[in-house]
């Protein structure tokens, strides 16, 4: 069986050797030595500052909204994982959707200003599949209208834009370290904020509001990463060069196979050092997508309709009609992409798809 992804795992021996540091001290959570070591190594590897490692990739979004004291309307994208929208609603704000660019698949920056109202407090945009948004345009709009900017950069580990980490843009950026991601801690995530005062606020929010053991800075929840999670990250991090190279090979194989086909492939924004996080293909219509998916499943190959449905169709938000996102969402499929995907299986996937294209 070939799934859309497969978790990269270091050897158990390597993982257990790192975890032993926590085992020997009995310090398994509350920001132990492994979490602190992982944060330091990630800052160096990524070229970022002020990272906060967390227990998953959704809490960083919720904490960012809370820390920035957002109210009213938050402009966002309908083409993302559900956590982007649900975090806005969970924190008592109203998502206002803007349609997406038909090639980059990120929020269409040219349509943002048209939906800004006196109730707008922020823009929460997703770097889709690790593909950066139109960062400069969004920054200009935000400054003009006094808005905060949060980037859902869940897919962006290792992505650079204009020779700088993607996490260094916006007021806050978030990342996921879920087991399906190219870098992972089993389950996990992180927050990034360049402003020192904001970083401190985010930090207190993720640790019950603690400012020392007996003093509280303010309200908080528990979003701390555990030592076993950090140990996994420390075991995976040395393999990042190997992971990226193998994923690059798979992406380039797909690109060569489909460059003359009718399939629409993801267009990566200029000046981007991409991380080969996903391989989406867009079919001419949903009928073709379903036919190809059925043929792949018959061969024990299981891609994923990612992202589907368009988030403006969620049952708990006010419905909006967004032509491009709804169309792309109905026609997009992410193909298998992971370390260990053999060339023979890669050829099988390509052959099945090409046979189904009319």
Which domain CATH number covers 12? 3.40.640.10
Predicted local confidence at residue 231, as pLDDT: 98
Claim to verify: residue 284 and residue 151 sit in the same structural domain = no
Predicted local confidence at residue 318, as pLDDT: 87
- Number of domains present in the structure of the chain: 2
Predicted local confidence at residue 351, as pLDDT: 98
Cα(80)–Cα(230) distance, integer angstroms: 26
Claim to verify: residue 56 and residue 154 sit in the same structural domain = yes
Claim to verify: residue 188 and residue 254 sit in the same structural domain = no
Cα(117)–Cα(267) distance, integer angstroms: 31
Claim to verify: residue 75 and residue 200 sit in the same structural domain = yes
Predicted local confidence at residue 214, as pLDDT: 75
Q: How many CB atoms lie within 10 A of CB 41?
A: 15
Give, in order, the Cα–Cα distances in Å from 276 to each of 223, 234, 279, 338: 28, 21, 7, 10
Tell which of 238, 272, 296 closes a domain: 238
Q: How many CB atoms lie within 10 A of CB 20?
A: 11
Claim to verify: residue 96 and residue 184 sit in the same structural domain = yes
Phi-psi region of 69 (alpha: psi -120 to 50; beta: other; left: phi over 0): left
Tell which of 216, 238, 260 closes a domain: 238
Cα(104)–Cα(325) distance, integer angstroms: 12
Which domain CATH number covers 289? 3.90.1150.10
Cα(59)–Cα(190) distance, integer angstroms: 9
Claim to verify: residue 270 and residue 290 sit in the same structural domain = yes
Give, in order, the Cα–Cα distances in Å from 352 to each of 24, 250, 335: 51, 16, 12
Claim to verify: residue 203 and residue 250 sit in the same structural domain = no
Claim to verify: residue 42 and residue 98 sit in the same structural domain = yes
List alpha helices for 2-119, DSSP H: 12-25, 33-46, 59-67, 82-90
Claim to verify: residue 208 and residue 254 sit in the same structural domain = no
Predicted local confidence at residue 209, as pLDDT: 83
Cα(219)–Cα(201) distance, integer angstroms: 10
Q: How many helices (H) and strands (E) does the chain have?
A: 11, 15
Cα(73)–Cα(117) distance, integer angstroms: 8
Predicted local confidence at residue 211, as pLDDT: 76
Claim to verify: residue 254 and residue 222 sit in the same structural domain = no
Cα(171)–Cα(155) distance, integer angstroms: 18
Residues of the chain with pLDDT under 50: none
Cα(222)–Cα(55) distance, integer angstroms: 9
Q: How many CB atoms lie within 10 A of CB 181?
A: 24
Predicted local confidence at residue 257, as pLDDT: 97
Check: CB of residue 133 under 8 Å from CB of residue 125: yes
Check: CB of residue 349 under 8 Å from CB of residue 4: no
Predicted local confidence at residue 320, as pLDDT: 87
What sign has the CA pseudo-torsion 155, 160, 164, 169?
Answer: negative
Claim to verify: residue 320 and residue 175 sit in the same structural domain = no
What sign has the CA pseudo-torsion 21, 225, 82, 316?
Answer: positive
Claim to verify: residue 12 and residue 161 sit in the same structural domain = yes
Query: Which residue, chain included where needed, has tokens 């046979």?
Result: 355
DSSP H or E stretch at residue 121? strand 120-126
**Residue 315, domain extent:** 240-356
């Amino acid at each position: 069986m070939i799934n859309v992804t497969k978790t990269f795992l270091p050897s158990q021996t390597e993982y257990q050797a790192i975890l032993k540091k926590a085992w020997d001290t009995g310090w398994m959570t509350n920001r132990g030595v492994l979490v602190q070591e992982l944060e330091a190594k990630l800052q160096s590897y990524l070229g970022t500052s002020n990272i906060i490692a967390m227990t998953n990739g959704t809490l960083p979004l919720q904490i960012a909204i809370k820390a920035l004291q957002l109210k009213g309307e938050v402009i966002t994208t309908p083409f993302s994982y559900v956590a982007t929208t649900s975090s806005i609603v969970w924190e008592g704000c109203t998502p206002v959707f803007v349609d997406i660019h038909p090639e980059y698949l990120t929020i269409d920056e040219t349509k943002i200003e048209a939906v800004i109202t006196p109730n707008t407090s922020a823009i929460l945009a997703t770097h889709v599949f690790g593909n950066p948004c139109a960062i400069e345009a969004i920054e200009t709009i935000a400054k003009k209208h006094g808005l905060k900017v949060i980037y859902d950069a869940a897919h962006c580990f290792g992505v650079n834009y204009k020779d700088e980490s993607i996490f260094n843009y916006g007021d806050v950026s978030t990342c996921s370290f879920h087991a399906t991601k190219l870098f992972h801690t089993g389950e996990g995530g992180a927050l990034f904020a360049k402003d020192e005062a904001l970083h401190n606020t985010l930090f207190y929010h993720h640790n019950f509001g603690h400012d020392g053991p007996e003093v509280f800075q303010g309200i908080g929840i528990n979003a701390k990463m555990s030592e076993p999670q950090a140990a996994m990250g420390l075991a995976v991090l040395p393999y990042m060069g190997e992971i990226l190279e193998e994923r690059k090979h798979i992406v380039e194989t797909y690109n060569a196979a489909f460059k003359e086909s009718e399939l629409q492939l993801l267009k990566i924004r200029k000046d981007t050092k991409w991380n080969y996080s996903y391989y989406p293909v867009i079919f001419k219509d949903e009928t073709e997508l379903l036919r190809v998916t059925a043929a792949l499943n018959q061969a024990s190959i299981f891609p994923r309709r990612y992202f589907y449905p368009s988030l403006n169709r969620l049952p708990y938000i006010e419905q909006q009609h967004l032509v491009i996102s709804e169309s792309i969402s109905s026609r997009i499929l992410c193909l298998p992409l992971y370390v260990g995907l053999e060339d023979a299986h890669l050829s099988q996937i390509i052959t099945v798809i090409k046979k189904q294209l009319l």
